[in-house]
Amino acid sequence: MVPDNRIGIHKRFADADLRCEPVALGYRLTLRSDPTEPEAARKGNPDLAKSPRPRANTPAAKPAAKRAARPTATASGSAEPIIASSVADEAAFALRSLQQAHANNKRYDASDEELLKFYEQMVLIRRFEEKAGQLYGLGLIGGFCHLYIGQEAVAVGLQSALKEGHDSVITGYRDHGHMLAYGIDPKVIMAELTGRGAGISRGKGGSMHMFSTEHKFYGGHGIVGAQVPLGAGLAFAHKYRNDGGVCMAYFGDGASNQGQVYETFNMAALWKLPIIFVVENNGYAMGTAVKRGSAETHFYRRGTAFRIPGMDVNGMDVLEVRQAAEVALEYVRAGNGPVLMELKTYRYRGHSMSDPAKYRSREEVQEMRDNHDPIEGAKAELLKRGVTEEKIKEIDKRIRQVVAESADFAETSPEPDVAELYTDVLVETY
């Protein structure tokens, strides 16, 4: 019954010119054009539905004209988020609807100020990670240390759309960038890397295990895939308390193969949890290239079986990332349940400091650095807009100073007091 129906829908709207680019996708999905019963209107969070759209000045809310071209509830004047309304029945499952919205309007219309801020945050992450690599080489950082170099636009673009301290963020062990993008002080991060008492985990966690409940940054997890259900739990808490918050849960292309990810997808969709699953597809899981470890390499499609809409996003352009975040957040905040975003990105360095990275060619890395670098991209855009070279240099210089200070702090502050060995095992005494 269902498949037939689906074919019917497919045929019915095949002429409506609502298809996604079939070449890029390898398959075709249509948007429903006659939402008879907008689901969000029935089920959406009533508070959110009533309240004015957030960020009325953002492009997500602006181009009413563009949207009017699409036959959605919003276009016909309802205050409901457009995407939600297309999830009306079994056959019209709007798996591709968010992708369509993203394709229609790819780049965030940032003000100069905003773009400068993105640039600054990305440069901060880059310089911080370079410094961490250096300190590792000197033996000041031990254990495993995974750098975020190359992936900066992902954390900065996505998290700039979140409400810091309100929306939750969780990730794996490659976590320095997400923390910096959430405004956490580089000093206490670097001091954690060097294992000092002033570190954000008092030196007891290290690079892979850092947290800031104040910022709603929930780690920092060393077990590949574990952060995905934990993230859904954070989303569960947002929904339970009805506080309007969402959780952004990051994981890798390699982590995407863990079973618990799919258990989580099912429950998150079933219970319409406010969560954005973010696959940071950087091409490799340690030495395993995506195609050697994954049967379905288009990670954004992996929510299909759970009716989670997917988005395929260029993770090397901070403005595309940010715009995609706008679309996803609008959908999730309206109470429609999870979104699965795949961010195509690249790590320039080895998996960790001890990875010789022999599984890829130097040329491949160089090509990404030369032609797709997110920082260079943002810089070129700034220059094109007429921002002066001096202004950019000034930022670079300031960031170098910030990073140098954090390294200095991390090198000179003392190791934890030995009494710390026994604290924090349990909260209470029994």
Partner 1 sequence: MAIELKMPALSPTMEEGTLAKWLVKAGDEVKSGDILAEIETDKATMEFEAIDEGTIGEILVAEGTEGVKVGTVIATIKGDDDSATPAPAAAPAVEQKAAESGAPAVQDAKAKAAAAIAPKSDAKPAADPELPAGTTMVPTTVREALRDAMAEEMRTDDRVFVMGEEVAEYQGAYKVTQGLLEEFGPQRVIDTPITEYGFAGIGAGAAMGGLRPVIEFMTFNFAMQAIDHIINSAAKTNYMSGGQMRCPIVFRGPNGAASRVGAQHSQNYGPWYASVPGLVVIAPYDSADAKGLLRAAIRSEDPVVFLENELVYGRTFDVPKLDDFVLPIGKARIVRPGNDVTIVSYSIGVGFALEAAETLAAEGIDAEVIDLRTLRPLDKETVLASLAKTNRLVVAEEGFPVCSIASEIISICMEEGFDHLDAPVLRVCDEDVPLPYAANLEKLALIDASKIAATVRKVCYR
Ligand X SMILES: Cc1ncc(C[n+]2csc(CCOP(=O)(O)OP(=O)(O)O)c2C)c(N)n1
Nearest Cα to 190, choosing from 130, 121, 250?
A: 130
Is the alpha carbon torsion for 265, 232, 124, 197 positive or negative? negative
Residues 6+ apart with CB under 8 A from 281: 252, 253, 290, 299, 315, 342, 343, 344, 345
Is position 351 an interface residue for ligand X (rule: CB under 6 A)? yes
Pairing of strands 275-281, 247-252: parallel
Nearer to ligand X, 117 or 209 (CB): 209
Residue closer to Mg ion by CB (options 133, 287) is 287
Residue 248 CB, nearest approach to Mg ion (Å):
17
Query: Least distance to partner 1 from the beta carbon of 120, Å?
Result: 15
Interface characters, 265-294, with ligand X (x: CB under 6 A): ---------------x-x-xxx--------
Pattern 267-306, Mg ion, x by CB under 5 A: ---------------x--x---------------------
What separation, in Å, do the N-terminal and C-terminal C-alpha atoms of the chain show? 60
Which listed residue (14, 68, 79, 223) binds ligand X by CB under 6 A?
223
Q: Return left, alpha or beta for 250; rule: phi > 0 is left, psi -120 to 50 is alpha, else beta.
A: beta
Q: Which residues of 368-403 are buried (b: 16+ CB within 10 A; e: fewer)?
A: beeebbbbebbbebbeeeebeeeebeebeeebeebb
Smallest separation (angstroms) from partner 1 to the CB of 180: 17
**Is the Cα dihedral 331, 335, 336, 339 positive or negative?**
positive
**For ligand X, what does the binding mask look like between residues 151 and 180, x meaning CB under 6 A?**
-----------------------x------
As measured in angstroms, the least distance from the Cβ of 308 to ligand X is 19
Element (H, E) at 279: strand 275-281
Please give the DSSP secondary-structure letter assigned to residue 241: H
**Rounded distance, CA 423 to CA 322, Å?**
41
Q: Between residues 282 and 336, which has the closer beta carbon with respect to ligand X?
A: 282
* Nearest residue (beta carbon) to ligand X: 252
User: Toward ligand X, which CB reaches closer, 165 or 293?
Assistant: 293
Q: How far is the CB of 345 from Mg ion (least distance, A)?
A: 9
Contact status: 224 vs ligand X (CB under 6 A): yes
- CA 64 and chain centroid, separation: 26
Residue with smaller CB distance to partner 1, 78 or 260: 260
In the complex, which residues of this chain contact ligand X (CB under 6 A)?
174, 222-224, 252-255, 280, 282, 284-286, 351
